[in-house]
Amino acid sequence: MTGLDALDWLVVGAYFALLAFVVWRSSRKQETSADYFLAGRNIGWFVIGASLFASNIGSEHLVGLAGSGAKSGVAMAHYELHAWCLLVLGWVLVPFYYRAGVYTMPEFLERRYNPTARWILSLVSLLAYVFTKVSVTVYAGGKVFEVLLPDLEIAGVNSFWIGAVTVVVLTGIYTCFGGLRAVVYTDALQTVVLILGSLCITAIGLYHLGGWAELREISGSERFNLWRPASDPEFPWPGMLFAAPIVGLWYWCTDQYIVQRTLAARNLKMARRGTLFGAYLKITPVFLFIVPGMIAYALVQKNMLVLGDPDQAFPAMVSQMLPVGVRGLVVGGLLAALMSSLSSLFNSCSSLFTVDIYKKIAPEASERQLVSVGRLATGVVIVLGLLWIPVMQRVSGQLYEYLQSVQAYLAPPMTAVFFLGVFWKRMNGRGAVATLLLGFFLGLAKLGCQIYAGSAPEGGLSAMQQVLVSYGSINFLLFCVYLFLFCCATLVAVSLFSAPPPAGQIENLTYATNTTAGRREVRESWNRWDIIHTVIVLLIILSVYVYFRG
C-alpha cells in the first residue's frame, strides 16, 4: 500500500493544528534579544532535554540512519550511544557557559581566547550549517515525500521539491516569528510524536518479520556487531573507538546548534537536568531508527518489502506496511523530525549571525533591531538552503555516512580548542587561532581530495594526482583521529611558545581559575539524584555495547 488515505491526512492535519497552537502561544513575547535567542533564559529541564533530542534527531536520522541499518547493521550505532557526551556537557562544560552568560559558542571562545577565534568559528559554523546540516536535512525530507507521495506533481514539480520546499518554508515562518521559545516548545511536542511514530514502525515491522529472533537470524552476527575488524574499509574499530567520541564531544558539547538549548535554562540545575533527560532520550535511536533499517533489510530478504536503495528503508516501511491512521501518525513523526531539526538550525544560524557578526559591526543596535536582524538572517538561511537542494540531490550512497564524514573533518579543531581551553589555563589565543585555521584547512582539503578521488580515472595519474587521491582515500574515521592529534599538538606548541593569557581574562573560564563562589554555585546545583541518573545512563550504554558484540 502506498500514499496517504483520508484518515492519514486527518491525523497529519491535527498534528499541524496543534503545532500552530503551540507556536502561537510561545511566540507572543519577543521584545528583547534574550527573549528571541534564548527564550528569556527561563526554560525547564523537560523542555530542554526534549529539545536537545528533537534537534539532534532530524529526518537525516530517520532516512539516513535507517538506511545505514539496512546496509551495514549496527555499525553506526556508536554515534547514537553518545548519550555520555550529554553527561559531559551537563557536568563539565555547562557551568562555564552558564557563568560566562554567553549567547553563542563563538562568544565563549572570545571570552576564553580572543576576538579572532570568535570570528573564525562564527564564519565556519555558518557555512557548515548551510552547506551540510540544512541541506542534508532538507534533502532527507525530500526523499521522504518522494517515497510517500510518488505521484504528487504540481505544475511539473515533483513530490521531492514540493515536500522539501513546503516544510522548509513553514518551519522558517514559525522560527522567524517565534524565536527559540517557539523552537523548544514545538520540539517538546515533536519529541513525543517522533518517539510514538518510530515505536510503531519498529513494533509492526518486528510483528511482520516474526520477532527479534528472526531478525537476528537473518541479519547474522556481523550485522549485529558494533566492533568491526581494524582492516574494515568503512568502520574499523580503532576509528570508531576514538573518532566517534571526538565528533560526539564537538557536537554535543561545543556546537551552537545543540548547546543553545542549555543556555536558555532558568538556572544551572535546570540546564544539567535537561542534559540528563536528553541523555536518556539519546539512547533510544539505536532501537527507533537503526533497528527498523535492519528490519527492512530482513523483510527484503523474505520478499516482504520492496526497497529501491537503503535510504528508502524507513519511508518504504511506512508506506507499504502500516495501517491507515497509524501511517498518518508516523508521517507526522517524520515531519516532526524534519521540522524540529530545521527550526533549531535556523535559530542557531540567526543567533550566530546576529550576536557574533552583526552586533560586532553595529554595537549600538537596539534590542528590536537585533530581533529584526535575527529574523532576516533566518530568511536568508532558508533561501540558501533551498538553493542548495539541487546540489544535495547529487549525493549518492549512504546519507548518514556522508554527514558523519563531513563532521569528522570539521570537529577535531573545535574539540581540541574547547576542551584543552577549559582543562589547561596555559592555552592562549594565538594557539587557538593557529589550531582553528590549520585544522579547518586540512579538513576541507581532505573533503576536496575525497571528492576528487571519487571521480579520478584509475590509471595514468601524475605524482601529484596520486598524492591527492591517496590523501582523499584515507578512511574518514582514522583521518579524524590523526587530525585531532595534530590540532592538540598545534594548540599546545603554539601556546607554550607564546605568552600566557592574562589571569583576569580566564577567571572562572577554566578549572584552575575557578573562584570559590563559582565552585560553590556548581556544588549547589546538583544532588544525589543527579548522580544516580548519571550512573543509570552509563550502565544502559554499557549494556548496549555488551549486547551488540556480534
DSSP conformation letters of 61-73? IIIIIHHHHHHHT
What is the distance between the alpha carbons of residues 122 and 431, in angstroms, rounded to a whole number? 18
Q: Which residues are paired to 228 by β-bridges?
A: 236
Q: List Cβ neighbours of 268 (8 Å cut-off, separation of 6 or more).
A: 94, 95, 98, 521, 522, 525
pLDDT at 396 (0 to 100): 43
Task: Answer positive or negative: Cα dihedral of 222, 223, 225, 228.
Answer: positive
Beta pairing, strands 157-158 & 153-154 = antiparallel
The mean pLDDT of 342-353, rounded to a whole number, is 76
Could you report the per-residue pLDDT of 366-386, keeping only the tens digit for each?
877 877 887 788 778 777 767
Q: Which DSSP category does 286 fall into?
A: I
Cell of 416: 581540541
* pTM, 2 dp: 0.80
Rg (CA), the chain: 23
Is pLDDT of 540 > 90?
yes
pLDDT at 1 (0 to 100): 41
Could you report the per-residue pLDDT of 444-456, keeping only the tens digit for each?
888 778 777 766 6
Could you report the per-residue pLDDT of 31-61, keeping only the tens digit for each?
555 555 454 456 778 888 887 887 777 666 6
The mean pLDDT of 480-505, rounded to a whole number, is 94
What is the distance between the alpha carbons of residues 363 and 357, in angstroms, rounded to a whole number? 10
Q: Of 144 and 376, which is predicted with more confidence?
A: 376
Contact assessment for residue 301 and residue 209, using Cβ atoms and an 8 Å cutoff: no
Vertex 284, ends 278 and 289: CA angle to 5°?
A: 125
The domain limits of the chain are: 6-400
Q: Of 459 and 208, which is predicted with more confidence?
A: 208
Q: List Cβ neighbours of 203 (8 Å cut-off, separation of 6 or more).
A: none
Pick the CATH number of 6-400 from 3.40.50.20, 3.90.79.10, 3.30.413.10, 1.20.1730.10: 1.20.1730.10
Select, from the ranges 111-120, 253-262, 285-294, 491-500, the one with the highest average predicted confidence (pLDDT).
491-500
pLDDT at 454 (0 to 100): 65
Average pLDDT, the chain: 80
C-alpha distances in Å from residue 380, one per residue of 86, 142, 168, 349: 31, 20, 12, 10
Closest Cα to residue 136, out of 308, 339, 382, 389? 389
What is the distance between the alpha carbons of residues 477 and 425, in angstroms, rounded to a whole number? 30
DSSP string for residues in 465-493? HHHHHHHHTS-HHHHHHHHHHHHHHHHHH
Question: What angle do helix axes 326-353 and 6-26 make, rounded to 10 degrees?
Answer: 30
